[in-house]
A and B are shown apart, each in its own frame.
Chain A
Amino acid sequence: MNKSLKKKLESDFDSSVEILEKNGWTITANKNQVLDILRFLKGEGFDYLALISCVDWIEKGEFELIYILSSYLADKEKMHLILKTRIPRKKPDFETTIHIFENAEPYERELHELFGVNFNGHPRLEPLFLDRNYKTPPFRKDFDTRKYVEETFGSIKSVEGKK
């Protein structure tokens, strides 16, 4: 089963499959084909989306989107897949995957808030955790946490009155 799945992924979707260990595969895909691959994998029994994550590769000017899939079924459940793709950092737009996996909704909302990735077609890309407005989304690598804290809260006098 697994060999044919690997073959299919490599020939039909021209993605590269790297088998790092017995129970975890890494698939690197072209960004135009991610939705097709997700649909295909869901049909193959990988019906559980565990996580959507994002990594900011600032030196290459790219965001990497990560989809981690696993299965509720008995025969494929011993494996999880990491599907990843890169999108340009300057124009971080991507398609939403809510119509494939319903639970993608809060993950995409979170990535929109923390990384500024736009998911087209998402019904509510409103803030999830944060209260304030940030010029740079705070989980990007060029967001300086310390500087932000000093600028925002630094003018508040300490309780003891000394500074």
Chain B
Amino acid sequence: MTERELEMYFGPQHMGMVGNFGITLTVKGDRILKAKANPGYLHRGFEKLMELRTWTQNSPLVCRVNVMEPHSMEMVYSMAVEKLAGIKVPMRAKYIRTLTLELSRLASHLFGCWAYANMLGFDTVAQWAMYHRDLILDLFEDFTGGRVYPIYIWPGGVRRDLPDGFKEKALNVLHEIRSKISDYDATFFNNKLFYDRAKGIGKISQEEAKNLGGTGQILRGNGVESDIRKIEPYAAYDKIDFEIPTREGGDAYSRVWIIRDEMIQSVHIAMKCLEQMPEGSVYNKVPNPFKWKIPKGETYVRVESSRGELGLYMVSNGGDKPYRVHFRTPSYPHGLTILEKILVGENIADVGNIMISLYVTPPEIDR
């Protein structure tokens, strides 16, 4: 039987796919000859919508850009507004922000573990990850009021202080997660099946990753110690000691291991935050939201989201609304340029594997 070239549509609805995102594959047998990313299923035009809303009205909107980790989105928006308007943030709010961002990273990584483990057929590990993520969502509900969309980090600080007894609760959850890492290792990360499926899959060299605009796990899985938390510290990251896990290899295996190592670091940072947190107020008053105008200017701010560099370019023309907003999301280069490149020559069965190991979230790409 001769093999012929076929064009096939992978996604937007597919088991091995996270979110609505399509890839058009040209295949021969089950080898991929060409891949074409096909985004747009989740394009909601947030950047345009934000131009039509006031600075305060944008706060509940901006977290919805990325479902997986709304906190980083709020953080980057708050940072941009604070920079343009010259608002200072109290020290306690900085610590609470750091704590929130790390819990958010942990929740996002656990969700990532769920997706990856589920895709490889490790159902038990996937359920554990979901359970542990839920514990963190309970914490979010406790101190922000919202499980998924918290609308908590605002320009000027955070919306309200931590409730009584929160520290003990949070420490309980963090200890619980850290103590279960060995279980994850035994069943998943040190499992031969995971090694066989992930080692050497979706390989990208360090040089290529840099040329194509890779950040986050793509670089750290290639031995580059790159982390915005260290390069341009924001919130209280300059006051807390932590390590940047790196690994050689540049394949799915090392990228997923980086995610596991980062979870341990996140637990560590969150605990340090709870320990070192100073007393004081948690927000500085901003002007009347109906009359709030921000002076002319432009800014680019960036944070390390759980996927890589998350940036925001924002322009104000002196009005009560932003003039232009543009998010630089980490999944954008990962899911469009890098994905198209490294899928070539791989198996159809590994498309979901590669996509999740690149940690691509479609809502971030489309915006």
Contact = CB atoms under 8 A, between A and B. Distances in A.
Interface of A: 23-24, 26, 47-51, 53, 55-56, 66, 68, 72, 77-78, 80, 82, 101-103, 105-106, 127-131, 138-139, 145
A31 B20 CA distance: 38
22 contacts: A24-B299, A24-B300, A48-B210, A48-B213, A50-B213, A51-B300, A51-B311, A55-B315, A68-B300, A68-B311, A77-B226, A77-B231, A78-B231, A78-B232, A80-B300, A82-B298, A103-B213, A103-B333, A105-B336, A128-B39, A131-B40, A145-B52
B309 interface: yes
A102 B49 CA distance: 30
Interface of B: 39-40, 43, 45, 47-49, 52, 210-213, 219, 224, 226, 231-232, 298-300, 302, 309, 311, 313, 315, 323-324, 326, 328, 332-333, 336-337, 366
- With most chain B CB atoms within 10 A of its CB, the pick from A23, A47, A53, A101 is A53
Nearest to A49: B213
Chain B residues touching A, majority SS: mixed
Nearest to A131: B40
Contacts of B298: 26, 82
A82 B337 CA distance: 22
Contact of A50 (B219, B302, B366): B302
A35 B300 CA distance: 21
A134 to B, nearest CB: 12
A112 B175 CA distance: 50
- With most chain A CB atoms within 10 A of its CB, the pick from B302, B315, B333 is B333
Contacts of A130: 40, 43
A80 B366 CA distance: 25
A50 B231 contact: no
A6 to B, nearest CB: 18
Contacts of B337: 102-103, 105-106
A76 to B, nearest CB: 10
- With most chain B CB atoms within 10 A of its CB, the pick from A68, A78, A101, A131 is A68
Contacts of B336: 105-106
Contacts of A51: 300, 311, 313, 326, 328
Contacts of B232: 23, 78
A47 B48 CA distance: 30
Contacts of B47: 139
Nearest to B213: A103
Nearest to A78: B231
Given A82-B298, A103-B211, A129-B366, 9 more contacts: A24-B299, A47-B210, A50-B300, A72-B210, A72-B219, A102-B337, A105-B336, A129-B43, A130-B43
